[in-house]
Amino acid sequence: MVQLRDVTVRYESGIAALQNVNLTVEKSEFLFLVGPTGAGKTTLLKLLTREVIPSEGTVIVADKDVTKMKPSQIPYLRRLIGTVFQDILLLPDRTVWENVAFALRVTGASSGEIAREVPKALETVGMLHKAKAFPAELSGGEKQKVALARALVVKPLLLLADEPTGNLDPTSSLEIVDLLLRINRQGTTVIMATHDKAIVDAYRKRVVEIVGGRIVRDELRGVFRRELA
């Protein structure tokens, strides 16, 4: 699903955000990306959505060479990828339903398709009963579930979650990760960048650790190292 070959990202100042990164993520895999703040986790995720272009190396997502992609092809790449962030980014003046439907509307989906897919996505994250609520009426965990529904509604092959539990209490965090795992079991590849030791240790999934822009550890049933906590 994802392949990074000898990828280096260097800023104009010369500082390298990532150096010689090699990583392969198979289809339907679940991966925790760990590392201290500024290690390069977000940069790595942005490489996959082509928000960042590597200075060197190749990035392949769903058999497509992202580095060689024309700007006009990028939107079609992003339709294969769902994204969830720490800053939840819901539209405050729209209901939960409208927030989820927004992702479909911008790709020109018909009203029939929207009426069919939005309830499914909300049902998956357990938020269908709050479809008419506005974001201000929701808790942090509920907002993140809505953001997750918005990412899911386009039926992505790959789900990128950048610190999705960063602002949540432990119970909500576990709910979100449980949801991500459920989505993963349905066949979606999930890459989750996190600082949450408890979660990484509890689920024992593949863990890739980045420090100073380099991958320093890649374990199949890994834990969050104590020194990172």
- Residues near another protein (CB under 8 A) are 49, 51, 71-72, 74-79, 83, 89, 91, 93, 102-103, 105-111, 150, 154
Residue closest to 44 by CA, chosen among 84, 17, 24, 26: 17
Q: Which is nearer to another protein, 68 or 129 (CB)?
A: 68
Q: Could you tell me the smallest distance in angstroms from the CB atom of residue 92 to another protein?
A: 8
Give me the amino acid identity at 144. Answer: Q
Q: Which is nearer to another protein, 4 or 103 (CB)?
A: 103
Residue 58 CA to its chain's centroid (Å):
20
Q: Which is nearer to another protein, 34 or 88 (CB)?
A: 88
Q: Which is nearer to another protein, 153 or 207 (CB)?
A: 153
Q: How far apart are CA 5 and CA 7, in angstroms?
A: 5
Q: Which is nearer to another protein, 75 or 170 (CB)?
A: 75
User: What is the token pair recorded at 198?
Assistant: 């408890």
Q: Could you tell me the smallest distance in angstroms from the CB atom of residue 71 to another protein?
A: 5
Residue closest to 206 by CA, chosen among 79, 52, 26, 13: 26
Q: Could you tell me the smallest distance in angstroms from the CB atom of residue 225 to another protein?
A: 31
Q: What count of residues does the chain have?
A: 229
Q: Is the dihedral of CA 69, 70, 74, 77 positive or negative?
A: negative
Q: How far apart are CA 191 and CA 196, in angstroms?
A: 14
- Give, in order, the Cα–Cα distances in Å from 219 to each of 89, 100, 109: 32, 35, 40
Q: Could you tell me the smallest distance in angstroms from the CB atom of residue 112 to another protein?
A: 9
Q: Could you tell me the smallest distance in angstroms from the CB atom of residue 170 to another protein?
A: 28
Q: Could you tell me the smallest distance in angstroms from the CB atom of residue 78 to another protein?
A: 4
Residue 148: Cβ within 10 Å count = 25
Q: Which is nearer to another protein, 118 or 199 (CB)?
A: 118
Q: Which residues contact 63 (CB under 8 A, 6 or more apart)?
A: none
